């Protein structure tokens, strides 16, 4: 029965993979960033049918859902080859080993291991492949069904997407695409909280702008940064499905600056309705059980750091031994109940509609006139002035100025590339104080004084 089903539906995966490959080659990867990095995922998927063979529901990812993730990697110069392959008759709950509690290595009845042995087409010694099953649900460590959105091996090669207890028994298109990226992220060595201890800071750090954070996994990075007031609406280059680029500000919860916010727009951190001068203290964790906003959280206070996930992903399938890949830590992910708790009191923060997001030509840069050394433009290593920032920023970038005084080393700054300049609050820019001939308005040649 399994073999017949496998052959009957395999052509869907082959045709699907070919379409994605054409899109990737022709439209996704800009030649300037094209690299030789290729990653491969084989996806099999469960389908529930009635006795007549009619589909009751299917976990098969659509072309749009897969293309969104291919595009996400393509924008970083990575060729992501996803083969959507075999239909698997639905098993409502995938089992763990009742003795050891192992999941991915267990090959008993109704297990991931047994399905992998039957359906996976890239077994060892083939290297460079990850295996994913879009399944219904799995057992937690207590051997009970869980509504967890998925499970992934940390720096391994196996993961599952399990949205059977979510919307429509399959999850929404956005939830499916975002969770695919999230669980694959665990295979690539990414956690829920960057390099921090998730037991201490939580699984939802607000300044790790990544689909890996529970804050954004199924609700979108850009959409929720804007909705929570962390980023100005429309004046940012975040995407809804992305890993972090490590550019956001470090946040010390014991001394937050409301006029500076998270470096892009001023923000009422302690939720008292007033933008205060000076430091305020506010815990920013979002409780997994009781609230969906940090206003409901007090202390202990933590220091939250962003992390450049894209610069630190690791695909171990090309270098690790089979034994090493078979002994990886597993990471369980957000449950439907936790998701509902997050959104209960969040207000009108919608889940975004799934789209294939375009690549950005520019970047987001921070400018603060404190350091004597030129920076890289991240919030932790900002540019020191507008002249330095505009000279080093890519076309199409956004410059975020803090509410400070900037004394520039020249009487004029030529803006010779498209960009947006904005400030968290009032920012004052002075030309060189050494030159007394200061013009009072921009010239008609596009120069800004």
Helix (H, G, I), strand (E, B) or coil at 225: helix
Q: Is the pLDDT of residue 401 over 70?
A: yes
Residue 449 in this model has a pLDDT that exceeds 90: no
**Comparing 96-100, 279-283, 355-359, 434-438, which segment has the lowest mean pLDDT?**
434-438
What pLDDT score was predicted for residue 316?
96
Distance (Å, whole) CA 75 – CA 362: 12
Token pair, residue 142, equals 């207590």
- Model confidence at 164: pLDDT above 90: yes
Q: Are 422 and 232 in contact (CB under 8 A)?
A: yes
Chain segment 315-328, per-residue pLDDT in tens: 999 999 999 999 89
The position carrying tokens 């998925």 is: 150
**Residue 35: which pLDDT band, with cuts at 50, 70 and 90?**
very low
Structure tokens at 29: 């990867």
DSSP-H helix ranges across 86-213: 112-119, 173-187, 198-201
More confident residue, 444 or 261: 261
**Does residue 310 sit in helix, strand or coil?**
helix
Instruction: Name the more confident of 277 and 95.
Output: 95
- The predicted pLDDT at position 59 comes to 98
Q: Residue 323 burial by CB count (10 A; 0-12/13-18/19+): exposed, middle or buried?
A: exposed
Confidence check: pLDDT of 445 > 80 = no
Instruction: Report pLDDT for 439.
Output: 39
Higher pLDDT, 67 or 6: 67
CB-based burial, 83-119: b 16+ in 10 Å, e otherwise: bbbbbbebbebbbbbeeeebbbbbeeeebbbbbbeeb
Per-residue CA distances from 225 to 215, 376, 414, 419, 425 (Å): 9, 23, 32, 21, 18
In sequence order, which ranges of 266-331 are alpha helices (DSSP H)?
Answer: 322-325
User: What is 124-171 written as a DSSP string?
Assistant: TT--SEEEEEEES-EE-TTSSEE--SEEEETTSSEEEEE-TTSGGGT-
Give the H/E segment covering residue 105.
none
**CB neighbours (10 Å) of residue 404?**
17
Residue 140: how many other CB atoms lie within 10 Å:
17
For residue range 425-434, what is the model confidence (pLDDT) as tens digits?
889 988 776 5
| Phi and psi, residue 287, nearest 5° | -60, 130
Q: How far apart are CA 359 and CA 217, in angstroms?
A: 20
- The set of residues, in sequence order, having a beta carbon less than 8 Å from that of 7 and lying 6+ positions away, is none
What percentage of the chain reaches a pLDDT higher than 90? 67
DSSP 24: I
- Residue pair 324/156 in contact (Cβ under 8 Å)? The answer is no
Q: How confident is the model at residue 221 (pLDDT cuts 50, 70, 90)?
A: very high
Q: Work out the average pLDDT over 117-126.
A: 93
Least confident of 218-227, 364-373, 395-404: 364-373
**Residue 197: how many CB atoms within 10 A of its CB?**
10
- When the pLDDT of each residue in the chain is averaged and rounded to a whole number, the result is 85
Give the pLDDT of residue 287: 57
pLDDT at residue 91 above 90? yes
**In the chain, where the domains are located:** 2-189+313-344, 364-448
DSSP lists the bridge partners of residue 95 as 111
């Amino acid at each position: 029965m399994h073999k017949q089903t496998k052959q009957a539906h395999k052509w869907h995966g082959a045709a699907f993979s070919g379409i994605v490959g054409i899109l990737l080659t022709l439209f996704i990867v800009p030649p300037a960033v094209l690299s030789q990095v290729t990653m491969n995922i084989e996806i099999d998927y469960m389908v529930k049918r009635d006795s007549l063979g009619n589909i009751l529901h299917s976990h098969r990812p659509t072309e749009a859902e897969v293309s969104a993730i291919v595009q996400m990697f393509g924008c970083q110069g990575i060729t992501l080859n996803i083969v959507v392959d075999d239909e698997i008759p639905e098993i409502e709950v995938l089992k763990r080993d009742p003795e050891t509690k192992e999941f991915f290595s267990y090959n008993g009845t109704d297990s991931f291991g047994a399905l992998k042995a039957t359906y996976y087409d890239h077994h060892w010694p083939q290297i460079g492949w990850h295996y994913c099953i879009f399944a219904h649900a799995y057992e937690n460590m207590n051997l009970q069904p869980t509504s967890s959105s998925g499970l992934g091996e940390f720096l391994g090669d196996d993961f599952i997407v399990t949205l059977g207890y979510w919307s429509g028994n399959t999850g929404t298109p956005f939830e499916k695409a975002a969770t695919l990226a999230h669980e694959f992220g665990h295979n690539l060595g990414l956690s829920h909280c960057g390099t921090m201890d998730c037991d201490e800071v939580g699984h939802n750090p607000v300044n790790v702008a990544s689909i890996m954070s529970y804050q954004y996994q199924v609700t979108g990075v850009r959409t929720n940064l804007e909705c929570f007031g962390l980023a100005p609406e429309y004046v940012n280059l975040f995407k809804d499905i992305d890993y972090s680029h490590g550019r956001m500000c470090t946040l010390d919860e014991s001394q937050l600056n409301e006029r500076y916010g998270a470096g892009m727009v001023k923000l009422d951190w302690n939720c008292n309705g007033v933008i205060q001068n000076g430091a305020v203290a506010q815990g920013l964790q979002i409780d997994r059980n009781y609230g969906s906003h940090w206003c409901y959280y007090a202390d202990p206070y933590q220091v939250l750091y962003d992390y450049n996930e894209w610069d630190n992903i690791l695909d171990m399938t090309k270098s690790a031994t089979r034994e090493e890949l078979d002994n990886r830590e597993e990471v369980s992910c957000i449950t439907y109940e936790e998701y509902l708790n997050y959104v209960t009191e969040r207000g009108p923060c919608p889940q975004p509609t799934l789209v294939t997001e375009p690549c950005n030509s520019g970047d987001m840069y921070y400018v603060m006139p404190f350091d004597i050394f030129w920076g890289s433009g991240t919030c932790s290593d900002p540019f020191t002035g507008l002249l330095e920032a505009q000279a080093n920023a890519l076309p199409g970038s956004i410059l975020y100025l803090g509410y400070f005084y900037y004394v520039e080393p020249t009487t004029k700054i030529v803006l010779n590339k498209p960009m947006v300049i904005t400030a968290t609050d009032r920012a004052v820019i002075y030309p060189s104080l050494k030159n007394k001939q200061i013009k009072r308005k921009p010239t008609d040649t596009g120069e800004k004084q």
